[in-house]
Amino acid sequence: MRFTRRRLITGLSAVAAAAGGVASARAAQARYYEGAISDHFNGLRFVDPHGVAPKSLPDLLRWWSIRGGRVAWAGSAPSAYVDTPPARVDGSALRVSFVGHASVLLQTGGLNILIDPVWSDRVSPVDFAGPKRVNDPGIAFDALPKIDVILVSHNHYDHLDIATLSRLAAVHRPRVITPLGNDSIMQAYDPAIMVEAFDWGERVKLSADIDVTLAPMRHWSARGVFDRNKALWAAFIIATPAGRIYHVADSGYGDGFRFREARGLYGPFRLAILPIGAYEPRWFMRDQHMNPEEAVNAFLDCGAEVALAHHHGTFQLTDEAIDAPVMALADALTRHRIAPDTFRTLKPGQVWEL
């Protein structure tokens, strides 16, 4: 069966209509995390004091009902590259392998760090529908080196892929570092996932020479209809022998406050890893996803020496064409008189050695 937007809309509407009474009330009160109230946690849900609430279900249905705005991707867009990483990269060298979409392997200081790993074919609550990958992961799962640490930024399906995390736990037994609440999601699926959850501003030692700090970013979270913002989201400040890395998963730009804040609190940065895709239509995506022009502004705001683009070219989540983010980034770099090698895009399987 072919799942069109209309069928998905019908399905979501049916779920929403059926979710009433006691079951709905229980789901609405269920929580992933219990802790002290703070400026970004009200006792049940998280919020970014400098952000904007995500769009509503009616807004989502409105977007999906609009005809003519979506540029369909081809069913297959294979990359010409495949990476076979070394076992380790020691000292102050930094090797960055682009797995695809938002998945990146960092190797430096003798540590292997995977960020938002997704090896599944779909990023969806079900395995028979939803966005499907158009190219293979840039590293075959069996070609991965020993993974020491996994960083998971938030619980959207294209970042928290529970099936992949379970596979990695079985083979590699890595530490998994994630924001508050996401640990409950992982543990409920597979207790073998060695997950540790932290709040914004908390610093976690990963090795003698490497640590990570969770930092605010302008986004939101949900895995279903009733759990919106019940788990936290975060950027990662990774201090390594190669310099500090600023990794931002999904994020809106807003007025740039969070990027300037990161520069002031945690900079300077050797490398920023910034999202450039999933941004159309702007009326729906603006507050939660940057477009390439805003990604360049974020790069300038955070003050990093160089940047790597991610969140493009593997899963069609929004309306823009598959090559639109890369082309728009090139245009934005030209307008800002920034050399293309300063803010790079890679295809799955390509590597950047710093």
DSSP-assigned letters across all residues of 282-321: HHHHTTTS--HHHHHHHHHHHT-SEEEEES-SS---SSS-
The string of pLDDT tens digits covering residues 45-55 is: 999 999 888 88
CA distance 183 to 246: 22
pLDDT beyond 50 at 6:
no
pLDDT beyond 70 at 344:
yes
Q: Residue 29 has what pLDDT?
A: 65
Q: Residue 15 has what pLDDT?
A: 40
Mean pLDDT, rounded, for 193-202:
98
Q: What is the spatial order of strands in the sheet that 235-240 belongs to?
A: 203-205, 211-215, 235-240, 243-247, 271-275, 306-310, 343-344
CA distance 163 to 171: 13
Residue 128 within a domain:
yes
CA distance 132 to 2: 13
Q: Residue 14 has what pLDDT?
A: 36
CA distance 136 to 99: 9
Residue 240 within a domain:
yes
pLDDT beyond 90 at 209:
yes
pLDDT beyond 60 at 17:
no
Residue 40 within a domain:
no
The encoded tokens of residue 212 equal 């990570």
Q: Residue 30 has what pLDDT?
A: 74
Residue 152 within a domain:
yes
pLDDT beyond 80 at 230:
yes
Q: Residue 13 has what pLDDT?
A: 39
**67 pLDDT tier (thresholds 50, 70, 90):** low
Number of domains in the chain: 1
Q: Residue 68 has what pLDDT?
A: 72
The string of pLDDT tens digits covering residues 90-144 is: 999 999 999 999 999 999 999 999 999 999 999 999 889 999 999 999 999 999 9
Residue 254 within a domain:
yes
Token pair 């840039």 in the structure block, residue: 138
The string of pLDDT tens digits covering residues 251-279 is: 999 999 999 999 999 999 999 999 999 99
Q: Give the dihedral of Cα atoms 166, 168, 172, 177; nearest 10 deg.
A: -80
Closest CA to 114 of 140, 84, 92, 144: 144
Mean pLDDT, rounded, for 219-244:
96
Could you tell me the CA-to-CA distances from 133 to 97, 123, 166, 179 in Å, in that order? 18, 8, 19, 26
CATH, residue 331: 3.60.15.10
Supply the range of the domain harboring residue 228. Answer: 55-353
Q: Residue 9 has what pLDDT?
A: 41
Q: Where are the alpha helices (DSSP H) in the chain?
A: 5-18, 21-29, 57-65, 162-172, 182-189, 257-266, 282-285, 292-302, 324-335
Mean pLDDT, rounded, for 201-219:
97
Q: Residue 3 has what pLDDT?
A: 42
Residue 126 within a domain:
yes
Angle between helices 162-172 and 182-189 (to 10 degrees): 70
pLDDT beyond 50 at 77:
yes
CA distance 98 to 246: 16
Pairing of strands 351-353, 271-275: unpaired
Burial class (CB in 10 A: 0-12, 13-18, 19+), 104: buried
The string of pLDDT tens digits covering residues 150-178 is: 999 999 999 999 999 999 999 999 999 99
Residue 45 within a domain:
no
Q: Say if CB 102 and CB 273 are below 8 A apart.
A: no
**12 pLDDT tier (thresholds 50, 70, 90):** very low
Residue 19 within a domain:
no
Percent of the chain residues past pLDDT 90, beyond the cut: 84
Q: Residue 306's beta-bridge partner residues?
A: 271
